[in-house]
Copies of this chain bind each other. A is one copy, B any other.
């Protein structure tokens, strides 16, 4: 349908921007290059964990080197500096998110369906990838320092594209009398604030909280869709 063709377009746009770049996609690379990418990924794996636990400023290159079982100098064969490791870590997470988002856009028709799917998937992802989830939380704060930080533009640029697709779907839903007439941008922001920050507050309030994905999904959606008042 229209939606599909839209998302196909989006998907390829994202790919062009490099957000979807993965190891598997390009079949032409040789063994050497594959090994290199593999090791790079090992470093990022260690980095995500540490950045999540301690934040950017309190993560030392020594820590990353030790955790990834490489020498400290070796890291500089894969990244120019600490910040680049950080960005690559974030990008990895964004790529995952992107992939998920694309799939959901392709597989849903109504806005309600979209919200249901994306909420559940995102919460599931956070539960499965605790470190990535915490990095996302930290990133939202850290992004405020963006005047100092190159590379943020690239990442925020990505946000805008996702938002554009979502905006279209919201406007469609309003036209279809599926939802009330609301400012689409505000709705996007409010919806976003109801997932990651909500899980974050849960995380703070209860350190070892085992999140019940179904229950939380249902709760968030019930408020988002119907509110709390009894009419």
Contact of A40 with B by CB under 8 A:
no
* A226→B229 contact, CB < 8 A: yes
CA A187 – CA B80 in complex, angstroms? 45
| Count, chain A residues at interface, CB 8 A | 53
Q: Which of A182-227 contact B (CB under 8 A)?
A: 182-183, 185-187, 189-190, 192-194, 196-198, 200-205, 216, 219-220, 222-227
Cβ contact of A227, chosen from B54, B148, B216, B225, cutoff 8 A? B225
Can you name the residue of chain B whose Cβ is closest to the Cβ of A195? B193
Given A182-B228, A224-B227, A229-B112, CB of A55 within 8 Å of CB of B200 = no
* B143→A204 contact, CB < 8 A: yes
CA A229 – CA B222 in complex, angstroms? 10
For the complex formed, measure the closest distance between the CB of A98 and the CB atoms of chain B, giving whole angstroms: 18
* B229→A223 contact, CB < 8 A: no
CA A54 – CA B148 in complex, angstroms? 9
**Chain A interface residues toward B at CB < 8 A:** 54-55, 57-58, 112, 134, 137-138, 140-145, 148, 156, 159, 177-180, 182-183, 185-187, 189-190, 192-194, 196-198, 200-205, 216, 219-220, 222-231
